[in-house]
Amino acid sequence: MSLDVMQDEFLRRVRPAAWKNPAPKSVYDLAVLGAGPAGLAAAESAAREGYTVALIERYRLGGNSLNAGSIPSKAIIGTSRLFAAMRFGEEYGVPLSGKPPTDFAAVMARMRRIRTRIAEYHSVERCRAEGIDVFFGDARFAGRNSLLAADTRLHFKKAIVATGARPRAAAIPGLDQVRYLTSDTIFDLAELPKRLGVIGGGPLGCELAQAFCRLGSHVTILQNAPKFLPREERDAAELLSMSLSRDGVETRLNTTVAGARPGKHGKLLDAVNDDLKFSIPVDEILLSVGRIPNVEELDLPAAGIDCEDGGIKVDDFLQTSNADVYAAGDVCKSLKFTNIAETSGRMAVRNALGEEGGRQSHLLIPWCTYCSPEIAHIGMRVKEARQRAISVKSYTVMMQDVDRAITDAQDDGFVKVYVREGTDTIIGATIVAARASEMINEMSVVMSAGIGMRQLANILHTYPAQSDAIRLAALAYVANQSGSTSGLERR
């Protein structure tokens, strides 16, 4: 499939060129503003229950996740991991002569194929087939129970705001003038930058810094904090630092970007590390300093909806200050992850329609940063537990002691299971491993089911498997209770 055909196919699924908004119903049971993961989940869920639903999207279906977030980044990361693995071909008995060249156009084409394929699952045609009225255009409230969708007035009984978030700008002198990339634009690159400067050491900044480095860019990442991934614990963040450095990423912690300007060849980032001032020459700049909720153009006051910390203020049931309007996803959540958006979309719609949707404070949320190794977490962190006077002990298994991690040559990382002392109750876990994103889901099931360490120790796992590290942590718990200090509780 040619690039043009593929792009046409993608747009046919997410924003058909010839799309005509439907004639509106007199009043909708539910209006959903925004067709990202939260909005789509809410709209589809309500439509399947037989409610009339209007779904309004300003840009393309799928939101940030499909268009400029989880999907394109994971596709690029997938390629970059192959490049990284090829470095070690010789160790596996597959010697490669020289560094393989990067066909960046092919890398991006693969990403677009993947994005197009996944777009089908929530395409506009499928939405229409579900009975959802899809409106493309800007949305803004016109009253407590009405809104304008591309100038068409819609009336609703209930509404869900799921307009997501966008990359945060930064007040860095000169940055606008030299132009920079964000997650919204980096996936449109036609050429691999020779030198890429990444501002921000959060999840996306770290993921893309590593991926572009592996593809062949010379990457410098600048983080205005003592560690990457400030939300994660020290040991995980330090492992990531080592991993980035090993891949060849130039890591600059505690470094503030004070300015940007054109250089003789490319651009210059002027940086400050305490009293040290220096300039970094780059060809492209990726700004990745967080995301801010899309609320400005919604005319929220017209509907009596309050904001808080830049996002929509909601209660534990995701209800806004307007009792008929709920919010879900990045527009109201501090943790801006696709899985949280989707779950909160389903929760909001059930609560809005008078069903038992539940409370967001009851959600057990796993998240992951998709670097190599991946860093995943669920539940309470040790510091939070200590602040709440909960006595906690971490049971740690190093991946270097896990047979399958050794056979896979993926033995960087660890599994830490946090247990309330004096009990076998698991209150959280952090996993740093090649596939931590998969392994953390076992912890999600275990914790949701209320399974304790004793029971977990007796749950059979396949052998060898990297997830066996979780069982080994439980075995360490059992051994610890019996006073053993051998540290070799394996099988």
Partner 1 sequence: MNSPDSSDFETLAALPDEALLDRLQRGAFGYLTEYTNPENGLVADTSRPGSPCSIAVVGFTLSCYPIAVERGWMARAAAAAQTLQALRFFHGSQQSDRPDATGFKGFYYHFLDMQSGRRVWQCELSLVDSALLMAGIVTAGRYFSGGGDETEIRALCDELYGRVDWRWAENGQATISQGWKPECAFLHYGWEGYNEATILYVLGLGSPTHRLSKESFAGWTSTYQWENLLGQDVLYSGPLFTHLFSHAWVDYRGIRDSFMREKDSDYFENSKRTIAIHREYCARNPRGFEGYDRDLWGITAGDGPGNRELRQSSRDRRFFGYMSRGAPYGPDDGTIAPWAMLATVPFGAAAALDGTRHLLRAYPEVCTQDRFSSGFNPTLAERGNSWLSEGWFGLDQGLLVMMIENHRSGLIWEITRGAPCVRAGLKLAGFDGGWLA
Residue numbers of the site for partner 1 (CB under 8 A)?
87-88, 90-91, 225-227, 233-235, 238-239, 242, 245-246, 254, 272, 274-275, 382-383, 386-387, 391-396, 398, 400-401, 411, 414, 416, 421, 476-477, 479-480, 484-489
* Closest to partner 1 by CB, 94 or 335: 94
* Closest to partner 1 by CB, 95 or 354: 95
* Closest to partner 1 by CB, 154 or 215: 215
For 68, the 3-state DSSP assignment is helix
Exposure class string for 329-347: b at 16+ Cβ within 10 A, else e: bbbbbeebbbbbbbbbbbb
d(CA 14, CA 29) in angstroms, rounded, equals 24
* Closest to partner 1 by CB, 11 or 225: 225
Q: What angle do CA 472, 476, 480 make, to 5 degrees?
A: 170
d(CA 236, CA 252) in angstroms, rounded, equals 17
* Closest to partner 1 by CB, 331 or 426: 426
Residue 108 to residues 74, 175, 212, 364, Cα–Cα distance (Å): 12, 26, 12, 35
- Least separation in angstroms between residue 371's CB and partner 1 is 16
Backbone angles phi and psi of 263, in degrees to 5: -110, 180
* Closest to partner 1 by CB, 169 or 488: 488
| Contacts (Cβ under 8 Å, ≥6 apart) of 169 | 287
User: How buried is residue 390: exposed, middle or buried, by Cβ count under 10 Å (0-12/13-18/19+)?
Assistant: middle
- Least separation in angstroms between residue 96's CB and partner 1 is 12
* Closest to partner 1 by CB, 401 or 408: 401
For 53, the 3-state DSSP assignment is strand
Residue 40 to residues 44, 60, 119, 130, Cα–Cα distance (Å): 6, 12, 12, 11
d(CA 35, CA 396) in angstroms, rounded, equals 41
